[in-house]
Amino acid sequence: MELSDTDWGILNLCSDNRETRKNIAAALDKSPNYISKELSKLSEMGLLKQPGPAEKSGMHVTTKKGGFVLSKQEKYERRQSELFGELVTSAAELSYELSAETDTEVTPSDIVVVTEQAHDLLQKLDDNSGVSPQEAADRIGMNLYATQGILYELYFFDLLDQAVTSDGEIYDLTARGRRLLDQPAQTTVKDANRTWNLITSKDKSEPSFDK
């Protein structure tokens, strides 16, 4: 998910008000034609929509997905732009699935982890601080490149804090991360998110007729 400074500016403007192409161009000091291209791109990503009641109203607002992306702006790293987009999509899909299991809407912001590898690594970082990517890789027996992606997921979901020192990146558990670890042991990512959001699995509550 490649996002430029202009894209972030558009998303911010459209999160506060319904904005037209001309208003956005004027606010960001960009040409209307350039803004049109960026609006199309953001709409294709599902981050913007044109509200009604008129079809193709010419106004633009951020979608729920766009609002989630905005909430993660400080987590955006150009080198991890593809993974950033994957995490946004995975969180949106998982929140939709979990919403079907409860009367309360689960939003992407309510999701705490989306891959089993990240969930597993978090368990292995319990009560450890100042962990480097190489130390984390050694704990889970994976190569450094793959581990950096897993650490980024935990950072993206606010389970780890990231700091850059003279020796490189280090990661510390956040209060949110410790709270997740304090929950009863969960075997799957979906169960971890169910427990976090106080959802009782339908699969567990329904009787089995297999026998």
pLDDT interval class at 168 (50, 70, 90) = confident
pLDDT at residue 129, rounded to an integer: 74
What is the rounded average pLDDT for all residues in the chain?
A: 88
pTM: 0.85
179-197 burial code (b ≥16 CB/10 A, e <16): ebeeeeebeebbbbbbbbb
- Confidence band (pLDDT; 50, 70, 90) for 205? very low
Alpha-carbon distance values, 185 to 28, 104, 122, 159, 201 (Å)? 48, 24, 12, 16, 15
Tell me how far apart the alpha carbons of residues 54 and 182 are, in angstroms, rounded to a whole number.
50
Residue 58 vs residue 178, higher pLDDT:
178
Q: Give 204's pLDDT tier (boundaries 50, 70, 90).
A: very low
- pLDDT tens readout for residues 50-103: 886 656 668 899 999 999 999 999 999 999 999 999 999 999 999 999 999 988
Question: Can you list the domains of the chain with their CATH numbers?
Answer: 5-71 (1.10.10.10), 75-196 (1.10.10.10)
